[in-house]
Each structure stands twice: as C-alpha cells, then as structure tokens.
C-alpha cells in the first residue's frame, strides 16, 4: 500500500497565507522590493525598522525590538495601537487570517522560530 504525499500543515498555512498576503498586503508591500512599505523577505527575526535604505516613520523607529511571529500578529491586529503615528493603518480582526499571513512571512524568512 502506498501513502499519498500531503504537504505539511505549515506548507498549507503558508500557501493560504500567500493568497491572503496578495489580497491584503501587496497593495503596499512586496516580498523582495521596497514599495510604499518595506520588503518582507526575512522579516521574521529582523529588527523593527531594519530594512537598510527604507525611510521608516519616527513611530516605527521608536518601537524597536525584533519582528517575531507573535509581534507580527500584534502588529496586524492594530498598527496604530502598537505604534501610534506610524504610516500603516491596519486592523485585521480575524486571528485565522493573521495566523496565515504570519505563516507566509515565516516561510519567506531565514529565521523560522
């Protein structure tokens, strides 16, 4: 008997997250290119406001720290709550959607906690 190969749950989440990223984030962000917002490749594990050459708002520079999956979830929940005065205005209420987008961002990052 042969087992049918099935992608892992993490791969499934990353694929669904990529689709959500395209509809909810790609208007301002790209994985590999700075646009209105900074590029997202390797965002997990990167310092907040840490893309060289990108001009961040003072509010985001002041935030400091490192982007972790939990911190990205918090950011997507309410950018102005986390860094009042930042240029990004987003409130994503659905925890499942946030989880999928974060899974995608983890899949395009070297650091995968």
Backbone angles phi, psi at 5, to 5 degrees: -70, 130
The pLDDT assigned to 12 comes to: 74
CB 104 within 8 A of CB 12: no
- pLDDT tens per residue across all 113 residues of the chain: 444 444 566 667 889 999 999 999 999 999 999 999 999 999 999 999 999 999 999 999 999 999 999 999 999 999 999 999 999 998 999 999 999 999 999 999 986 55
Instruction: Write the DSSP assignment of 56-113 as a string of letters.
Output: --HHHHHH-SB--HHHHHHHHH-HHHHSTT-S-------HHHHHHHHHHHHHTSS---
61/39 Cα distance (integer angstroms): 16
Ordered by where they begin, the domains of the chain are 9-107 (1.10.760.10)
| Secondary structure letter of residue 44 according to DSSP | T
């Amino acid at each position: 008997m042969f087992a049918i190969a099935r992608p892992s749950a993490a791969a499934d989440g990353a694929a669904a997250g990529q689709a959500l990223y395209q509809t909810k984030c790609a208007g301002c962000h790209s994985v590999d290119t700075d646009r209105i917002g900074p590029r997202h490749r390797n965002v997990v594990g990167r310092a907040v406001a840490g893309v060289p050459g990108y001009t961040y708002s003072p509010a985001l520079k002041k935030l400091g720290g490192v982007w972790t999956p939990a911190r990205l979830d918090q950011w997507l929940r309410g950018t102005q709550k986390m860094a009042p005065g930042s240029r990004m205005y987003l409130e994503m209420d659905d925890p499942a959607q946030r989880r999928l987008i974060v899974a995608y961002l983890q899949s395009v990052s070297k650091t995968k906690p």
